[in-house]
Amino acid sequence: MSVSRRNFLFTTAAASALAALGKPTLTLAEEAAKGGTKWTKGVCRYCGTGCGVYKGTRDGKLVMVKGDKHNHNAGFLCLKGFLLPQILYDESRLTKPQIRNKKGVLEDASWDEALKLIVSKFKGSVKEHGADSVAFYGSGQAYTEETFLSNKLFRAGFRTNNVEGNPRLCMASAVGGYVTSFGKDEPMGNYEDIDHADVFLLAGSNTAEAHPILFQRIARRKQANDKVKVIVVDPRRTPTSRLADLHLQFKPGTDLALFNSMAHVLIKEGLIDTKFIKENLNFGKVKKVDQTWESYVAFLEDYSPEKVSKITDCPAEQIVEAARLFGAKGRASMSMWCMGLNQRSRGVWANNLCHNLHLITGKIGTPGNTPFSLTGQPNACGGVRDGGGLSHLLPYGRLAGKAPHRAIIEKLWDLEPGHLPSAPGKNAIDMFRGLDEGSIKCIYIMCTNPGQSLPNVTRYRNGMKSKDTFVVVADIYPTRTTELADVVLPAAAWSEKEGVFGCSERRYQLDEKVVEAPGEARADFQILLEIGKRAGFGAMLPYKTPADAWDEIRKLGKDTPYAFWGITRERLHKDHGVIWPCPEEGHPGTPRRYVKGVDPLVPADWPRRMKFYGRSDGKAIVWLRPMAPPAEVPDKEYPYYLTTGRVIEQWHTGTMTQKCKELKTANAETMLELHPDDAAALQVKAGNGVRVSSRRGSFVFRANVTDTCPAGTVFLNMHDPERMCNLVTIDAYDPGSKQPEFKICAVKLEKA
């Protein structure tokens, strides 16, 4: 399919959709146009694309945001980015600490009262119930310095590995996929690969709505070159699939079989790179038995397109066509995926199977040839993944469960040998189960809204609400979680503080402070620091500002595959982001990892073109992952698939986007996307109430009758604080990554 000008505008409209919302009421922008505006470099605080922005301030107010022409986004921003200033100025901003009184009502308090209470509760709990009775739950939207500080405060201070964050709900399966396939986390390619790719495989990624500026770049690439093909692998029709030459639709969860079938076709049709396979690949163990190329080929025998078509409902010819497009010799193939693969009870497997396609075709490590996991949040990569903000991790690729890794961090942090806790921490779901079951007594929640965003949320809301638990929430607005908290702390927002964000392409960039926080709101870094000092850990936290912590953070990454020693604070102020590895100050950064002559961590005398240095033999692993069903599939009682996700105008739990005039009415109500055939069977018309029930909960949503989902599958977005889809979703998780299966559960529907 060639993309006509009209089609191009149509498909990229999502990226510049202000027009679709009518005349924007950018009164702040009009103010900016009056002149006298000061512009400061920064980063959009929404998605993991990490667009560079300039922030316009006048008279102490942020009045406008525009795209940074010198950054990867070439001056483009999507509408959420443009409308950022409004998230600071709603009158409901939290400006004073609050403590829940004996009657159960939140009451204004002083910082001193709030901090005193927090420290006495946390220290008291450690003393009485042990260190693992306290926990920290952070965010991929917190700055690297904030995640670093919480990590040090909880692991080295309180001495627990109960340090988690919402990237567990988001990126854990991608981490698991990268680590098992390549030996180290994080993508190896970069956004420039988009400009070189001939084939895009967009799997479980609604790029047009969730990563609009990257989608726009894909669309531009396609418009510039008629031969560029886009394959979309998604059970739903989405604005992304409008760009597709080939859209594979299938029963949710069955794409494991589909990827194996593509590999089957690639091998049958000789679209593989035998030399690359021989030199660079090992085959993962199955039941402790080493595998070989031959056993892999035999394993794939079960995945002929005809057989898989029966499992998936996806036509066999389409599977063959997808494999032929992906594997075509001499053409560059880039895969991108997001929550459709990660939020699955077999999310790590889904990631492995996507990596396999690149590995057996050798379509990896050259311009346009790369597997590329899209990251959701602006700093899930930089802060939580790289910085070690998940319970099983320590900073920069070390593992909390490995004594030699703890010893390295103990040395870097000047701690006694054996100081860091060896007991494993709890993953996000188990952490909130711990609150519900009583093993966790105190939790500090920062920059995330689990009272809305956790699956099967009622159970976890009960745990937070319980009189036996002590819940602290730092946020910028009242939320579905602050309503459950014992102490609410008013946080400074994006632009009212500074810090480093690391986006999907390993680019670290500095987001600068440009305005003061309202009322008594304080930056998360300062709040954590004050808690640490009051709790008696001042000596190990010798910082005044986030900038003070940066050199220690660089040191933690030194001599690791993350190697960003060269990304100094001065450089971050000046440059428009730098992509690690960047081991020395003069180093320009590394567009492609693992590649000889490009990645400084591959020795010049390495005999092959790539070295997967996360493994001692420098080889990647192809895993034999069978088709496995989701945790719950429809049955007689619950006959529909429910899948959940995003729309372009809203961000997660809506706390910020619903403060923007232009966004608050756009898709703000979560409606049930229901196929016309299903609507007819239920005798439901557009706008009617439909009760959606699962084994866990039930809620009435109004119907949006549309054929975006195939009959038998319904969709809800996650954004509406009044109508929460997570009352219904399932909290089963992947046994490896512990990431919950937000994407698939079984429901029944009744006209309400």
Ligand X SMILES: Nc1nc2c(c(=O)[nH]1)N[C@H]1C(S)=C(S)[C@@H](COP(=O)(O)OP(=O)(O)OC[C@H]3O[C@@H](n4cnc5c(=O)[nH]c(N)nc54)[C@H](O)[C@@H]3O)O[C@H]1N2
In the region spanning residues 197 to 216, those forming contacts with ligand SF4, defined by CB under 6 A, are: 211-213
3-state SS of 246-299 is EEECCCCCCHHHHHHHHHHHHHHCCCCCHHHHHHHEEEEEECCEEECHHHHHHH
**Binding residues vs ligand X (CB under 6 A):** 47, 139, 141, 166, 169-170, 203-206, 209-210, 233-236, 238, 252-253, 255, 338-341, 343, 376-377, 446-450, 453, 474-477, 479, 491, 493-494, 524, 643-646, 648, 650-653, 655-656, 718, 725-726, 729, 742-744
86 is a site residue for ligand SF4 (CB under 6 A): no
Q: In this chain, which of 42, 50, 654, 697 binds ligand SF4, going by CB under 6 A?
A: 50
341 is a site residue for Mo ion (CB under 5 A): no
Catalytic residue chosen out of the listed positions 376, 557, 614, 697: 376
The DSSP annotation for 460-505 comes to HHHHHHSTT-EEEEEESS--TTGGG-SEEEEBP-TTSS-EEEE-TT
Cβ atoms of 665 and 672 within 8 Å: the answer is: no
**In terms of Cα–Cα distance, which of 137, 138, 171 is closest to 344?**
171
Q: In this chain, which of 94, 135, 170, 718 binds Mo ion, going by CB under 5 A?
A: 170
Catalytic residue chosen out of the listed positions 44, 47, 51, 171: 171
CB of 65 to ligand SF4, least distance (A): 9
376 is a site residue for Mo ion (CB under 5 A): yes
Other beta carbons within 10 angstroms of residue 3's beta carbon come to 22
Give every CB contact of residue 581 below 8 A, 6+ residues apart in sequence: 561, 562, 563, 564, 587, 589, 590, 593, 599, 600, 601
660 is a site residue for ligand SF4 (CB under 6 A): no
Cα–Cα distance, 104 to 117 (Å, whole number): 16
**Is 503 among the catalytic positions?**
no
Q: Which does 318 bind (CB under 5 to 8 A by kind): Mo ion, ligand X, ligand SF4, none?
A: none
Q: Which does 44 bind (CB under 5 to 8 A by kind): ligand X, Mo ion, ligand SF4, none?
A: ligand SF4
In the region spanning residues 620 to 679, those forming contacts with Mo ion, defined by CB under 5 A, are: none
Of 170-178, 295-303, 326-334, 547-555, the window that binds Mo ion (rule: CB under 5 A) is: 170-178
Total residues in contact with Mo ion, by rule CB under 5 A = 2
Tokens of residue 437, six digits:
């079951």
**Is 80 among the catalytic positions?**
yes
DSSP label at 206?
A: -
Total residues in contact with ligand SF4, by rule CB under 6 A = 13
Angle, vertex CA 128, rays to CA 457 and CA 486, nearest 5: 40
CB of 1 to ligand X, least distance (A): 20
Tokens of residue 11, six digits:
């498909």
Q: Which does 139 bind (CB under 5 to 8 A by kind): Mo ion, ligand X, ligand SF4, none?
A: ligand X
**Is 434 among the catalytic positions?**
no
497 is a site residue for ligand SF4 (CB under 6 A): no
**Is 376 among the catalytic positions?**
yes
232 is a site residue for Mo ion (CB under 5 A): no
For 105-117, letters b (16+ CB in 10 Å) and e give ebeebeeeebbeb
78 is a site residue for ligand SF4 (CB under 6 A): yes
Of 79-87, 164-172, 264-272, 676-684, the window that binds Mo ion (rule: CB under 5 A) is: 164-172
Cα–Cα distance, 519 to 522 (Å, whole number): 9
Q: How many Cα atoms are found within 13 Å in the side-chain-facing hemisphere of 223?
A: 15
C-beta of 207 vs 318, nearer to ligand SF4: 207
Q: Which does 656 bind (CB under 5 to 8 A by kind): Mo ion, ligand SF4, ligand X, none?
A: ligand X
Other beta carbons within 10 angstroms of residue 265's beta carbon come to 23
**Is 171 among the catalytic positions?**
yes
Output the CA torsion sign for 698, 703, 704, 708.
positive
Q: How many Cα atoms are found within 13 Å in the side-chain-facing hemisphere of 476?
A: 25
Cα–Cα distance, 460 to 463 (Å, whole number): 5
**Is 188 among the catalytic positions?**
no
Catalytic residue chosen out of the listed positions 314, 339, 627, 745: 339
Q: Which does 77 bind (CB under 5 to 8 A by kind): ligand SF4, Mo ion, ligand X, none?
A: ligand SF4
* Contacts of the segment 21-27: beta carbons below 8 A, 24+ positions apart: 21/79, 21/649, 21/662, 21/666, 24/662, 25/661, 25/662, 26/64, 26/82, 26/83
Side chain identity at residue 114, one-letter code: A
Q: Which does 81 bind (CB under 5 to 8 A by kind): ligand X, Mo ion, ligand SF4, none?
A: ligand SF4
CB of 315 to ligand SF4, least distance (A): 33
560 is a site residue for ligand SF4 (CB under 6 A): no
CB of 341 to ligand X, least distance (A): 6
Q: How many Cα atoms are found within 13 Å in the side-chain-facing hemisphere of 318?
A: 21
Catalytic residues: 80, 170-171, 339, 376-377
Q: Which residues bind to Mo ion, rule: CB under 5 A?
A: 170, 376
